[in-house]
Structure 1
Amino acid sequence: MKPDDFDYVAKLLKERSGLVLTKDKAYLLESRLMPLARKRGLKGLDDLLALVRKRDTTVEKAVVEAMTTNESFFFRDNKPFDQFRSIVLPNLLKARANKKSFRIWSAACSSGQEPYSLAMILREEAAKLAGWRVEIVGTDLSTEILAKARAGAYSQFEVQRGMPMTLLVKYFKKKDENWVIDPSVSSMVTFKEWNLLGDLRALGHFDVVFCRNVLIYFDQPTKGKVLQSISQIMADDGVLYLGGAETVLGISEHFKPVPGQRGIYAVTKGNGTSLGAPT
Protein backbone atom coordinates (compact mmCIF):
# COMPACT_ATOMS: atom_id res chain seq x y z
CA MET A 1 0.00 0.00 0.00
CA LYS A 2 1.27 3.45 -0.92
CA PRO A 3 2.18 5.72 2.01
CA ASP A 4 -0.26 8.43 0.90
CA ASP A 5 -3.07 5.85 0.65
CA PHE A 6 -2.32 4.69 4.18
CA ASP A 7 -2.31 8.27 5.46
CA TYR A 8 -5.62 9.00 3.73
CA VAL A 9 -7.39 5.97 5.22
CA ALA A 10 -5.81 6.52 8.64
CA LYS A 11 -7.16 10.09 8.65
CA LEU A 12 -10.61 8.84 7.64
CA LEU A 13 -10.63 6.27 10.45
CA LYS A 14 -9.56 8.87 13.02
CA GLU A 15 -12.28 11.30 11.93
CA ARG A 16 -15.09 8.77 11.68
CA SER A 17 -14.39 6.37 14.54
CA GLY A 18 -11.59 7.78 16.68
CA LEU A 19 -9.43 4.79 15.80
CA VAL A 20 -5.73 5.67 15.68
CA LEU A 21 -3.88 3.52 13.16
CA THR A 22 -0.09 3.77 13.23
CA LYS A 23 2.12 2.83 10.27
CA ASP A 24 3.24 -0.39 11.94
CA LYS A 25 -0.38 -1.56 11.65
CA ALA A 26 -0.50 -1.07 7.88
CA TYR A 27 -0.86 -4.82 7.48
CA LEU A 28 -4.26 -4.57 9.20
CA LEU A 29 -5.53 -2.36 6.41
CA GLU A 30 -4.63 -4.92 3.80
CA SER A 31 -5.88 -7.95 5.73
CA ARG A 32 -9.23 -6.38 6.59
CA LEU A 33 -9.91 -4.40 3.44
CA MET A 34 -9.04 -7.06 0.87
CA PRO A 35 -12.11 -9.16 1.80
CA LEU A 36 -14.21 -5.99 1.49
CA ALA A 37 -12.81 -5.34 -1.98
CA ARG A 38 -13.59 -8.92 -3.06
CA LYS A 39 -17.08 -8.67 -1.57
CA ARG A 40 -17.73 -5.64 -3.76
CA GLY A 41 -16.40 -7.37 -6.86
CA LEU A 42 -13.33 -5.15 -7.12
CA LYS A 43 -9.95 -6.27 -8.44
CA GLY A 44 -8.03 -5.21 -5.37
CA LEU A 45 -7.21 -2.58 -2.79
CA ASP A 46 -6.35 0.07 -5.35
CA ASP A 47 -9.89 0.01 -6.75
CA LEU A 48 -11.38 0.15 -3.26
CA LEU A 49 -9.19 3.05 -2.21
CA ALA A 50 -10.07 4.88 -5.42
CA LEU A 51 -13.74 4.77 -4.36
CA VAL A 52 -12.80 5.96 -0.88
CA ARG A 53 -10.93 8.92 -2.34
CA LYS A 54 -14.02 9.78 -4.41
CA ARG A 55 -15.83 10.23 -1.08
CA ASP A 56 -18.23 7.37 -1.79
CA THR A 57 -20.03 7.49 1.58
CA THR A 58 -21.21 3.89 1.37
CA VAL A 59 -17.68 2.65 0.78
CA GLU A 60 -16.26 4.96 3.45
CA LYS A 61 -18.69 3.54 6.01
CA ALA A 62 -17.87 -0.02 4.98
CA VAL A 63 -14.14 0.66 5.36
CA VAL A 64 -14.61 2.12 8.85
CA GLU A 65 -16.74 -0.84 9.91
CA ALA A 66 -14.22 -3.31 8.52
CA MET A 67 -11.41 -1.71 10.50
CA THR A 68 -13.13 -1.54 13.88
CA THR A 69 -12.45 -4.42 16.26
CA ASN A 70 -15.47 -6.55 17.09
CA GLU A 71 -14.00 -8.83 19.73
CA SER A 72 -16.60 -9.78 22.31
CA PHE A 73 -17.78 -12.72 24.37
CA PHE A 74 -20.25 -13.47 27.12
CA PHE A 75 -19.38 -12.33 30.67
CA ARG A 76 -16.03 -11.08 29.41
CA ASP A 77 -13.45 -10.92 32.24
CA ASN A 78 -16.12 -12.04 34.75
CA LYS A 79 -15.26 -9.53 37.49
CA PRO A 80 -17.21 -6.58 36.05
CA PHE A 81 -20.32 -8.73 35.92
CA ASP A 82 -19.74 -10.07 39.43
CA GLN A 83 -19.40 -6.46 40.61
CA PHE A 84 -22.61 -5.54 38.84
CA ARG A 85 -24.52 -8.46 40.33
CA SER A 86 -23.28 -8.18 43.92
CA ILE A 87 -22.59 -4.45 44.37
CA VAL A 88 -23.95 -2.16 41.68
CA LEU A 89 -27.36 -3.77 41.21
CA PRO A 90 -28.25 -3.94 44.94
CA ASN A 91 -27.34 -0.28 45.30
CA LEU A 92 -29.35 0.60 42.21
CA LEU A 93 -32.38 -1.09 43.71
CA LYS A 94 -31.92 0.96 46.86
CA ALA A 95 -31.14 4.29 45.19
CA ARG A 96 -33.95 3.98 42.62
CA ALA A 97 -36.56 2.52 44.97
CA ASN A 98 -38.92 5.47 44.51
CA LYS A 99 -39.07 5.59 40.72
CA LYS A 100 -38.40 1.87 40.20
CA SER A 101 -36.52 2.29 36.94
CA PHE A 102 -32.98 2.51 35.63
CA ARG A 103 -31.17 2.45 32.30
CA ILE A 104 -27.93 0.73 31.26
CA TRP A 105 -25.87 1.56 28.19
CA SER A 106 -23.47 -0.91 26.59
CA ALA A 107 -21.32 1.26 24.30
CA ALA A 108 -19.52 -0.35 21.35
CA CYS A 109 -21.49 -3.51 22.13
CA SER A 110 -20.29 -5.40 19.05
CA SER A 111 -22.31 -8.59 18.48
CA GLY A 112 -24.34 -8.18 21.67
CA GLN A 113 -22.71 -10.50 24.20
CA GLU A 114 -22.16 -7.76 26.80
CA PRO A 115 -25.72 -6.36 26.94
CA TYR A 116 -27.16 -9.88 26.79
CA SER A 117 -24.91 -10.91 29.69
CA LEU A 118 -26.33 -8.01 31.73
CA ALA A 119 -29.86 -8.97 30.69
CA MET A 120 -29.33 -12.53 31.91
CA ILE A 121 -28.11 -11.25 35.28
CA LEU A 122 -31.26 -9.16 35.57
CA ARG A 123 -33.43 -12.12 34.56
CA GLU A 124 -31.85 -14.14 37.35
CA GLU A 125 -32.84 -11.34 39.75
CA ALA A 126 -36.38 -11.08 38.37
CA ALA A 127 -38.04 -11.47 41.77
CA LYS A 128 -36.29 -8.38 43.08
CA LEU A 129 -37.14 -6.43 39.94
CA ALA A 130 -40.89 -7.14 39.91
CA GLY A 131 -42.65 -3.90 39.04
CA TRP A 132 -39.46 -2.22 37.82
CA ARG A 133 -38.83 -0.75 34.37
CA VAL A 134 -35.33 -1.60 33.22
CA GLU A 135 -33.85 -0.71 29.84
CA ILE A 136 -30.59 -1.88 28.33
CA VAL A 137 -29.33 -0.06 25.23
CA GLY A 138 -26.54 -1.52 23.12
CA THR A 139 -24.86 0.66 20.50
CA ASP A 140 -22.22 0.20 17.84
CA LEU A 141 -21.22 2.01 14.66
CA SER A 142 -21.34 -1.16 12.56
CA THR A 143 -24.70 -1.99 11.00
CA GLU A 144 -23.49 -5.47 10.11
CA ILE A 145 -22.43 -6.38 13.63
CA LEU A 146 -25.66 -4.93 15.06
CA ALA A 147 -27.68 -7.17 12.75
CA LYS A 148 -25.91 -10.14 14.31
CA ALA A 149 -26.60 -8.77 17.79
CA ARG A 150 -30.31 -8.36 17.07
CA ALA A 151 -30.51 -11.89 15.66
CA GLY A 152 -29.15 -13.24 18.94
CA ALA A 153 -27.75 -16.36 17.27
CA TYR A 154 -24.31 -17.59 18.29
CA SER A 155 -22.08 -20.47 17.27
CA GLN A 156 -20.96 -23.23 19.59
CA PHE A 157 -17.57 -21.54 19.82
CA GLU A 158 -19.14 -18.20 20.77
CA VAL A 159 -21.31 -19.60 23.57
CA GLN A 160 -18.40 -21.62 24.95
CA ARG A 161 -16.46 -18.39 25.56
CA GLY A 162 -17.54 -17.33 29.04
CA MET A 163 -21.10 -18.61 29.06
CA PRO A 164 -21.98 -20.66 32.18
CA MET A 165 -23.61 -23.93 31.16
CA THR A 166 -26.58 -23.31 33.47
CA LEU A 167 -27.41 -20.05 31.68
CA LEU A 168 -26.86 -21.57 28.24
CA VAL A 169 -29.41 -24.29 28.96
CA LYS A 170 -31.82 -21.85 30.57
CA TYR A 171 -31.74 -18.97 28.07
CA PHE A 172 -30.73 -20.46 24.71
CA LYS A 173 -32.19 -22.98 22.29
CA LYS A 174 -30.25 -24.90 19.67
CA LYS A 175 -31.28 -24.10 16.12
CA ASP A 176 -29.33 -25.81 13.37
CA GLU A 177 -25.66 -24.94 14.04
CA ASN A 178 -26.38 -21.98 16.33
CA TRP A 179 -27.67 -21.22 19.79
CA VAL A 180 -30.47 -18.63 19.76
CA ILE A 181 -31.12 -16.46 22.81
CA ASP A 182 -34.55 -16.60 24.40
CA PRO A 183 -36.96 -13.69 23.72
CA SER A 184 -37.28 -13.13 27.47
CA VAL A 185 -33.66 -11.95 27.36
CA SER A 186 -33.41 -10.40 23.90
CA SER A 187 -36.51 -8.26 24.51
CA MET A 188 -34.68 -6.50 27.33
CA VAL A 189 -32.09 -5.03 24.97
CA THR A 190 -32.55 -2.32 22.35
CA PHE A 191 -29.79 -2.02 19.75
CA LYS A 192 -29.01 1.24 17.98
CA GLU A 193 -26.40 2.36 15.48
CA TRP A 194 -24.39 5.08 17.18
CA ASN A 195 -20.93 6.60 16.97
CA LEU A 196 -19.17 7.49 20.23
CA LEU A 197 -17.75 10.57 18.53
CA GLY A 198 -21.23 11.88 17.75
CA ASP A 199 -23.85 13.63 19.87
CA LEU A 200 -24.84 11.19 22.61
CA ARG A 201 -27.67 13.24 24.11
CA ALA A 202 -30.36 11.68 21.93
CA LEU A 203 -29.69 8.35 23.66
CA GLY A 204 -31.14 9.76 26.88
CA HIS A 205 -29.75 9.49 30.40
CA PHE A 206 -28.21 6.40 31.96
CA ASP A 207 -27.52 5.13 35.45
CA VAL A 208 -24.82 2.65 34.42
CA VAL A 209 -22.56 2.78 31.37
CA PHE A 210 -20.32 -0.01 30.12
CA CYS A 211 -17.66 1.41 27.78
CA ARG A 212 -15.07 -1.32 28.08
CA ASN A 213 -12.04 -1.88 25.86
CA VAL A 214 -12.92 1.02 23.59
CA LEU A 215 -10.79 3.95 24.76
CA ILE A 216 -7.58 1.98 24.21
CA TYR A 217 -7.98 2.59 20.47
CA PHE A 218 -8.23 6.40 20.86
CA ASP A 219 -5.61 9.08 21.36
CA GLN A 220 -5.66 11.15 24.58
CA PRO A 221 -7.71 14.12 23.30
CA THR A 222 -10.35 11.78 21.84
CA LYS A 223 -10.52 9.79 25.09
CA GLY A 224 -11.12 13.01 27.01
CA LYS A 225 -13.81 14.16 24.59
CA VAL A 226 -15.65 10.84 24.72
CA LEU A 227 -15.52 10.69 28.53
CA GLN A 228 -16.88 14.22 28.77
CA SER A 229 -19.75 13.36 26.42
CA ILE A 230 -20.56 10.23 28.41
CA SER A 231 -20.59 12.14 31.71
CA GLN A 232 -23.17 14.55 30.32
CA ILE A 233 -25.75 11.81 29.79
CA MET A 234 -25.25 10.05 33.13
CA ALA A 235 -27.10 10.40 36.40
CA ASP A 236 -25.22 12.36 39.05
CA ASP A 237 -24.71 9.16 41.02
CA GLY A 238 -24.12 7.00 37.95
CA VAL A 239 -21.23 4.59 37.42
CA LEU A 240 -19.02 3.95 34.43
CA TYR A 241 -17.27 0.69 33.62
CA LEU A 242 -14.00 0.78 31.66
CA GLY A 243 -11.74 -2.07 30.56
CA GLY A 244 -8.93 -3.41 32.71
CA ALA A 245 -6.28 -1.56 30.69
CA GLU A 246 -8.18 1.73 30.71
CA THR A 247 -8.40 4.59 33.19
CA VAL A 248 -9.70 8.15 33.55
CA LEU A 249 -6.65 9.29 35.52
CA GLY A 250 -4.79 12.04 33.73
CA ILE A 251 -7.42 12.05 30.98
CA SER A 252 -10.70 13.33 32.39
CA GLU A 253 -11.90 15.24 35.43
CA HIS A 254 -15.48 14.11 34.82
CA PHE A 255 -14.99 10.73 36.50
CA LYS A 256 -13.11 9.41 39.49
CA PRO A 257 -12.27 5.85 40.54
CA VAL A 258 -14.61 4.15 42.99
CA PRO A 259 -12.41 3.11 45.95
CA GLY A 260 -11.88 -0.62 46.17
CA GLN A 261 -13.67 -1.36 42.90
CA ARG A 262 -11.24 -1.61 40.01
CA GLY A 263 -12.67 -0.65 36.65
CA ILE A 264 -15.64 1.32 38.06
CA TYR A 265 -15.74 5.10 37.98
CA ALA A 266 -18.11 7.62 39.54
CA VAL A 267 -19.41 10.78 37.93
CA THR A 268 -17.85 13.84 39.56
CA LYS A 269 -20.55 16.39 38.69
CA GLY A 270 -22.82 15.29 41.54
CA ASN A 271 -22.29 14.44 45.17
CA GLY A 272 -20.65 11.17 44.34
CA THR A 273 -22.13 7.72 43.94
CA SER A 274 -23.27 5.05 46.32
CA LEU A 275 -23.77 2.59 43.46
CA GLY A 276 -20.22 1.28 43.46
CA ALA A 277 -19.72 1.34 47.20
CA PRO A 278 -19.82 -1.91 49.16
CA THR A 279 -23.09 -2.47 50.99
Structure 2
Amino acid sequence: MQQTVQQQEFALHDGDFRKIANLVMETTGIVISDRKRAFISGRLGRRLRTLGLSGFGDYCRLLESDAGDAERLMLVNAITTNHTAFFREPHHFEALAANVLPSINAAQGQRGGRLRIWSAGCSTGEEPYTLAMLLCEQSAQLADWDVKILATDLDTNVVAHAAAGIYDAERVESIPGNFRKKYFTAQADGRGVMGEAVRSLISFAPLNLLQGWPMRGPFDIIFCRNVVIYFDKPTQRRLFDRYADMLKPDGWLFIGHSESLLSVTDRFKLVGRTIYRRIK
Protein backbone atom coordinates (compact mmCIF):
# COMPACT_ATOMS: atom_id res chain seq x y z
CA MET A 1 0.00 0.00 0.00
CA GLN A 2 2.81 2.38 0.93
CA GLN A 3 4.55 1.63 -2.39
CA THR A 4 1.33 2.39 -4.32
CA VAL A 5 0.84 5.70 -2.55
CA GLN A 6 4.49 6.63 -3.22
CA GLN A 7 4.20 5.75 -6.91
CA GLN A 8 1.11 7.93 -7.18
CA GLU A 9 2.85 10.75 -5.35
CA PHE A 10 5.91 10.75 -7.63
CA ALA A 11 5.35 9.12 -11.01
CA LEU A 12 8.67 8.16 -12.61
CA HIS A 13 8.08 8.62 -16.33
CA ASP A 14 10.21 6.96 -19.02
CA GLY A 15 12.18 10.07 -19.95
CA ASP A 16 13.11 10.90 -16.36
CA PHE A 17 14.01 7.28 -15.63
CA ARG A 18 16.33 7.17 -18.65
CA LYS A 19 17.98 10.45 -17.62
CA ILE A 20 18.65 9.13 -14.12
CA ALA A 21 19.86 5.74 -15.39
CA ASN A 22 22.20 7.37 -17.91
CA LEU A 23 23.61 9.74 -15.29
CA VAL A 24 24.27 6.87 -12.90
CA MET A 25 25.93 4.84 -15.67
CA GLU A 26 28.16 7.73 -16.74
CA THR A 27 29.10 8.58 -13.17
CA THR A 28 29.53 5.16 -11.56
CA GLY A 29 29.35 2.46 -14.24
CA ILE A 30 26.33 0.93 -12.50
CA VAL A 31 23.76 -0.36 -14.97
CA ILE A 32 20.14 0.32 -14.01
CA SER A 33 17.75 -1.85 -16.00
CA ASP A 34 14.04 -1.19 -16.37
CA ARG A 35 13.22 -3.81 -13.76
CA LYS A 36 14.90 -1.52 -11.21
CA ARG A 37 12.41 1.27 -11.87
CA ALA A 38 10.34 0.63 -8.71
CA PHE A 39 13.53 0.44 -6.61
CA ILE A 40 14.80 3.75 -8.03
CA SER A 41 11.41 5.38 -7.55
CA GLY A 42 11.28 4.28 -3.93
CA ARG A 43 14.83 5.30 -3.04
CA LEU A 44 14.67 8.66 -4.80
CA GLY A 45 11.14 9.43 -3.69
CA ARG A 46 12.64 10.09 -0.25
CA ARG A 47 15.01 12.60 -1.78
CA LEU A 48 12.15 14.41 -3.52
CA ARG A 49 10.27 14.74 -0.24
CA THR A 50 13.41 15.94 1.55
CA LEU A 51 14.05 18.54 -1.14
CA GLY A 52 10.41 19.61 -1.36
CA LEU A 53 10.21 18.85 -5.08
CA SER A 54 6.94 18.14 -6.88
CA GLY A 55 8.18 15.37 -9.16
CA PHE A 56 11.03 13.60 -10.93
CA GLY A 57 11.09 16.17 -13.69
CA ASP A 58 12.14 18.81 -11.18
CA TYR A 59 14.66 16.37 -9.72
CA CYS A 60 16.25 15.72 -13.12
CA ARG A 61 16.50 19.46 -13.77
CA LEU A 62 18.29 19.84 -10.42
CA LEU A 63 20.73 17.05 -11.29
CA GLU A 64 21.49 18.66 -14.65
CA SER A 65 21.98 22.16 -13.21
CA ASP A 66 25.22 23.82 -12.12
CA ALA A 67 23.99 23.48 -8.53
CA GLY A 68 23.45 19.74 -8.90
CA ASP A 69 26.91 18.46 -7.87
CA ALA A 70 25.94 17.85 -4.25
CA GLU A 71 22.69 16.16 -5.22
CA ARG A 72 24.44 13.88 -7.69
CA LEU A 73 26.47 12.60 -4.75
CA MET A 74 23.26 12.09 -2.74
CA LEU A 75 21.76 10.26 -5.73
CA VAL A 76 24.63 7.79 -5.76
CA ASN A 77 24.38 7.28 -1.99
CA ALA A 78 20.62 6.72 -2.25
CA ILE A 79 20.71 3.99 -4.89
CA THR A 80 23.82 2.11 -3.80
CA THR A 81 23.12 -1.31 -2.29
CA ASN A 82 25.31 -2.10 0.72
CA HIS A 83 24.91 -5.69 1.86
CA THR A 84 27.86 -7.05 3.82
CA ALA A 85 28.86 -8.93 6.97
CA PHE A 86 31.90 -9.84 9.01
CA PHE A 87 33.67 -12.95 7.63
CA ARG A 88 31.36 -13.02 4.61
CA GLU A 89 32.41 -15.77 2.18
CA PRO A 90 34.66 -17.32 4.83
CA HIS A 91 36.63 -19.47 2.36
CA HIS A 92 38.39 -16.30 1.23
CA PHE A 93 39.68 -15.54 4.70
CA GLU A 94 40.65 -19.16 5.27
CA ALA A 95 42.70 -19.08 2.05
CA LEU A 96 44.23 -15.75 3.04
CA ALA A 97 45.53 -17.14 6.33
CA ALA A 98 46.50 -20.61 5.09
CA ASN A 99 47.95 -19.85 1.67
CA VAL A 100 48.18 -16.21 0.62
CA LEU A 101 49.98 -14.66 3.58
CA PRO A 102 52.51 -17.52 3.85
CA SER A 103 53.18 -17.19 0.11
CA ILE A 104 53.78 -13.45 0.39
CA ASN A 105 55.97 -13.98 3.44
CA ALA A 106 58.07 -16.60 1.65
CA ALA A 107 58.42 -14.42 -1.45
CA GLN A 108 59.74 -11.49 0.55
CA GLY A 109 61.97 -13.81 2.54
CA GLN A 110 62.67 -11.43 5.38
CA ARG A 111 61.33 -9.88 8.53
CA GLY A 112 60.15 -6.33 8.24
CA GLY A 113 58.44 -6.76 4.87
CA ARG A 114 55.69 -4.67 3.31
CA LEU A 115 52.05 -5.67 2.82
CA ARG A 116 49.38 -3.59 1.08
CA ILE A 117 45.74 -4.68 0.75
CA TRP A 118 42.90 -2.81 -0.94
CA SER A 119 39.27 -3.44 -0.01
CA ALA A 120 37.52 -1.92 -3.04
CA GLY A 121 33.82 -1.49 -2.32
CA CYS A 122 34.22 -1.80 1.45
CA SER A 123 30.61 -0.78 2.26
CA THR A 124 30.16 -0.27 6.03
CA GLY A 125 33.59 -1.72 6.83
CA GLU A 126 33.00 -5.32 7.81
CA GLU A 127 35.33 -6.64 5.09
CA PRO A 128 38.41 -4.50 5.89
CA TYR A 129 37.92 -4.99 9.61
CA THR A 130 37.78 -8.75 9.08
CA LEU A 131 41.02 -8.51 7.11
CA ALA A 132 42.62 -6.42 9.86
CA MET A 133 41.60 -8.89 12.57
CA LEU A 134 43.12 -11.74 10.58
CA LEU A 135 46.35 -9.80 10.11
CA CYS A 136 46.51 -9.14 13.83
CA GLU A 137 46.14 -12.88 14.37
CA GLN A 138 49.16 -13.38 12.10
CA SER A 139 51.37 -11.05 14.15
CA ALA A 140 54.08 -13.67 14.59
CA GLN A 141 54.25 -14.37 10.85
CA LEU A 142 54.15 -10.64 10.02
CA ALA A 143 56.44 -9.45 12.80
CA ASP A 144 57.84 -5.96 12.14
CA TRP A 145 56.04 -5.73 8.79
CA ASP A 146 54.71 -2.48 7.39
CA VAL A 147 51.04 -3.46 6.96
CA LYS A 148 48.30 -1.19 5.63
CA ILE A 149 44.77 -1.72 4.34
CA LEU A 150 43.07 0.81 2.08
CA ALA A 151 39.26 0.64 2.24
CA THR A 152 37.21 2.59 -0.29
CA ASP A 153 33.62 2.89 -1.39
CA LEU A 154 31.55 5.04 -3.70
CA ASP A 155 28.97 5.80 -1.00
CA THR A 156 30.26 8.52 1.33
CA ASN A 157 27.70 7.61 4.01
CA VAL A 158 28.91 4.03 4.39
CA VAL A 159 32.55 5.14 4.39
CA ALA A 160 31.79 7.42 7.34
CA HIS A 161 30.00 4.55 9.09
CA ALA A 162 32.98 2.26 8.51
CA ALA A 163 35.50 4.79 9.74
CA ALA A 164 33.53 5.19 12.99
CA GLY A 165 33.98 1.46 13.68
CA ILE A 166 30.79 1.10 15.75
CA TYR A 167 28.42 -1.81 15.07
CA ASP A 168 25.05 -2.92 16.38
CA ALA A 169 24.92 -5.89 18.72
CA GLU A 170 23.55 -8.31 16.10
CA ARG A 171 26.46 -7.47 13.79
CA VAL A 172 29.01 -8.00 16.53
CA GLU A 173 27.41 -11.27 17.64
CA SER A 174 28.07 -12.77 14.20
CA ILE A 175 31.84 -12.54 14.80
CA PRO A 176 33.59 -15.62 16.26
CA GLY A 177 33.90 -15.27 20.03
CA ASN A 178 37.69 -15.22 20.17
CA PHE A 179 37.86 -12.35 17.67
CA ARG A 180 35.05 -10.49 19.40
CA LYS A 181 36.76 -10.66 22.78
CA LYS A 182 40.10 -9.50 21.40
CA TYR A 183 39.11 -6.76 19.03
CA PHE A 184 35.80 -5.24 20.20
CA THR A 185 34.88 -3.18 23.22
CA ALA A 186 31.24 -3.53 24.29
CA GLN A 187 29.21 -0.41 24.98
CA ALA A 188 26.41 -0.10 27.50
CA ASP A 189 23.81 -0.13 24.69
CA GLY A 190 25.11 -3.47 23.37
CA ARG A 191 26.95 -2.05 20.39
CA GLY A 192 30.61 -2.89 19.79
CA VAL A 193 33.48 -0.52 19.09
CA MET A 194 36.37 -1.78 17.00
CA GLY A 195 39.66 -1.78 18.89
CA GLU A 196 42.57 0.50 18.06
CA ALA A 197 44.94 -2.34 17.10
CA VAL A 198 42.62 -3.16 14.19
CA ARG A 199 41.56 0.39 13.32
CA SER A 200 45.18 1.54 13.05
CA LEU A 201 45.77 -0.78 10.07
CA ILE A 202 43.01 0.73 7.91
CA SER A 203 42.61 3.98 5.98
CA PHE A 204 39.06 4.70 4.80
CA ALA A 205 38.30 6.97 1.84
CA PRO A 206 35.49 7.59 -0.66
CA LEU A 207 36.44 6.55 -4.18
CA ASN A 208 34.67 6.20 -7.51
CA LEU A 209 36.23 3.18 -9.24
CA LEU A 210 35.52 4.67 -12.67
CA GLN A 211 37.41 7.88 -12.00
CA GLY A 212 41.05 8.63 -11.17
CA TRP A 213 42.77 6.64 -8.44
CA PRO A 214 45.03 8.82 -6.28
CA MET A 215 46.97 5.91 -4.77
CA ARG A 216 50.08 4.59 -6.47
CA GLY A 217 50.20 1.02 -5.26
CA PRO A 218 51.35 -1.53 -5.90
CA PHE A 219 49.08 -3.76 -3.85
CA ASP A 220 49.76 -7.34 -2.84
CA ILE A 221 46.05 -8.17 -2.52
CA ILE A 222 42.84 -6.61 -3.81
CA PHE A 223 39.40 -7.57 -2.54
CA CYS A 224 36.63 -6.47 -4.94
CA ARG A 225 33.69 -8.66 -4.05
CA ASN A 226 30.11 -8.32 -5.26
CA VAL A 227 30.87 -4.99 -6.91
CA VAL A 228 31.22 -5.67 -10.64
CA ILE A 229 27.87 -7.49 -10.84
CA TYR A 230 26.41 -4.00 -11.25
CA PHE A 231 28.67 -3.16 -14.23
CA ASP A 232 28.40 -4.09 -17.89
CA LYS A 233 31.14 -6.17 -19.54
CA PRO A 234 33.10 -3.28 -21.09
CA THR A 235 33.23 -1.54 -17.71
CA GLN A 236 34.33 -4.77 -16.04
CA ARG A 237 37.13 -5.21 -18.58
CA ARG A 238 38.45 -1.71 -17.99
CA LEU A 239 38.24 -2.11 -14.22
CA PHE A 240 40.04 -5.45 -14.03
CA ASP A 241 42.71 -4.19 -16.39
CA ARG A 242 43.30 -1.30 -13.97
CA TYR A 243 43.36 -3.73 -11.04
CA ALA A 244 46.04 -5.78 -12.80
CA ASP A 245 48.11 -2.64 -13.30
CA MET A 246 47.71 -1.78 -9.61
CA LEU A 247 48.74 -5.24 -8.37
CA LYS A 248 52.25 -6.57 -7.98
CA PRO A 249 53.26 -9.34 -10.40
CA ASP A 250 51.62 -12.53 -9.04
CA GLY A 251 49.39 -10.34 -6.82
CA TRP A 252 46.11 -11.75 -5.53
CA LEU A 253 42.57 -10.75 -6.49
CA PHE A 254 39.45 -11.86 -4.60
CA ILE A 255 36.04 -11.43 -6.23
CA GLY A 256 32.47 -12.27 -5.19
CA HIS A 257 30.81 -15.68 -5.22
CA SER A 258 28.58 -14.83 -8.21
CA GLU A 259 31.34 -13.17 -10.25
CA SER A 260 33.84 -14.52 -12.76
CA LEU A 261 36.66 -13.23 -14.93
CA LEU A 262 35.80 -15.65 -17.75
CA SER A 263 35.66 -13.73 -21.06
CA VAL A 264 36.44 -10.53 -19.15
CA THR A 265 40.24 -10.50 -18.86
CA ASP A 266 43.21 -12.78 -19.53
CA ARG A 267 45.48 -11.06 -17.03
CA PHE A 268 44.56 -13.31 -14.10
CA LYS A 269 44.70 -17.03 -13.40
CA LEU A 270 42.11 -18.80 -11.27
CA VAL A 271 43.88 -20.39 -8.27
CA GLY A 272 40.98 -21.03 -5.91
CA ARG A 273 37.29 -20.47 -5.41
CA THR A 274 36.86 -16.93 -6.86
CA ILE A 275 40.54 -16.29 -6.06
CA TYR A 276 42.89 -15.16 -8.81
CA ARG A 277 46.53 -14.23 -9.31
CA ARG A 278 47.87 -11.71 -11.79
CA ILE A 279 49.80 -13.36 -14.62
CA LYS A 280 50.41 -10.41 -16.96
Residue 85 of structure 2 is matched in structure 1 by: 73
Q: Secondary structure at the match of 2:215?
A: helix
Displacement of 1:179 after TM fit? 0.9
Residue 275 of structure 1 is matched in structure 2 by: none
Displacement of 1:102 after TM fit? 1.2
Residue 88 of structure 1 is matched in structure 2 by: 100
Select the residue among 142, 157, 171 that pairs with 2:170. Answer: 157
| Alpha-carbon separation, structure 1, partners of 2:32 and 2:256 | 20
Residue 120 of structure 1 is matched in structure 2 by: 133
| Alpha-carbon separation, structure 1, partners of 2:54 and 2:202 | 40
| Alpha-carbon separation, structure 1, partners of 2:264 and 2:46 | 36
Q: Which of the pair is proportionally richer in helix? A: 2
Alignment of 1:50 onto 2:61: yes
Q: Secondary structure at the match of 2:276?
A: strand
Q: Secondary structure at the match of 1:232?
A: helix
Select the residue among 2, 18, 21 that pairs with 1:10. Answer: 21
Select the residue among 117, 129, 143 that pairs with 1:130. Answer: 143
Displacement of 1:48 after TM fit? 3.0
Q: Contact 1:200–1:230 at 8 Å: present in 2 too?
A: no
Residue 35 of structure 2 is matched in structure 1 by: 24
| Alpha-carbon separation, structure 2, partners of 1:175 and 1:75 | 22
Q: Contact 2:185–2:195 at 8 Å: present in 1 too?
A: yes
| Alpha-carbon separation, structure 2, partners of 1:160 and 1:33 | 33
Displacement of 1:170 after TM fit? 1.6
Residue 277 of structure 1 is matched in structure 2 by: none
Q: Secondary structure at the match of 1:224?
A: helix
Q: Which amino acid aligns with 1:250?
A: S
Q: Which amino acid aligns with 2:113?
A: K
**Any unmatched runs of 5+ in structure 1?**
270-279
Displacement of 1:201 after TM fit? 5.8
Q: Which amino acid aligns with 1:143?
A: T
| Alpha-carbon separation, structure 2, partners of 1:169 and 1:36 | 40
Alignment of 1:171 onto 2:216: no
Q: Which amino acid aligns with 1:165?
A: G
Q: Which amino acid aligns with 1:21?
A: I
Displacement of 1:54 after TM fit? 2.2
| Alpha-carbon separation, structure 1, partners of 2:130 and 2:55 | 39
Displacement of 1:225 after TM fit? 0.5
Q: Secondary structure at the match of 1:21?
A: coil
**Residue deviations 1:123-179 (CA, integer Å, cap 9, x gap):** 111122221111100011121111101000011122234x11221122111224321
| Alpha-carbon separation, structure 2, partners of 1:266 and 1:139 | 21
Structure 1 segment 1-279 matched on structure 2, within 5 A: 1-42=12-53, 45-55=56-66, 56-98=68-110, 100-161=113-174, 163-177=175-189, 178-200=191-213, 202-258=215-271, 261-269=272-280
Q: Contact 1:33–1:63 at 8 Å: present in 2 too?
A: yes
Residue 4 of structure 2 is matched in structure 1 by: none
Q: Contact 1:239–1:264 at 8 Å: present in 2 too?
A: yes
Displacement of 1:45 after TM fit? 4.3
Q: Contact 2:226–2:256 at 8 Å: present in 1 too?
A: yes
Q: Secondary structure at the match of 2:221?
A: strand
**Any unmatched runs of 5+ in structure 2?**
1-11
TM-score w.r.t. structure 2 length? 0.90
| Alpha-carbon separation, structure 1, partners of 2:201 and 2:147 | 8
| Alpha-carbon separation, structure 1, partners of 2:46 and 2:196 | 33
**Residue deviations 1:170-194 (CA, integer Å, cap 9, x gap):** 2111224321100111111001111
Q: Contact 1:248–1:256 at 8 Å: present in 2 too?
A: no
| Alpha-carbon separation, structure 1, partners of 2:214 and 2:55 | 40
Q: Which amino acid aligns with 2:98?
A: S
**Residue deviations 1:30-78 (CA, integer Å, cap 9, x gap):** 1211223334454554543331132511101110121111111101011
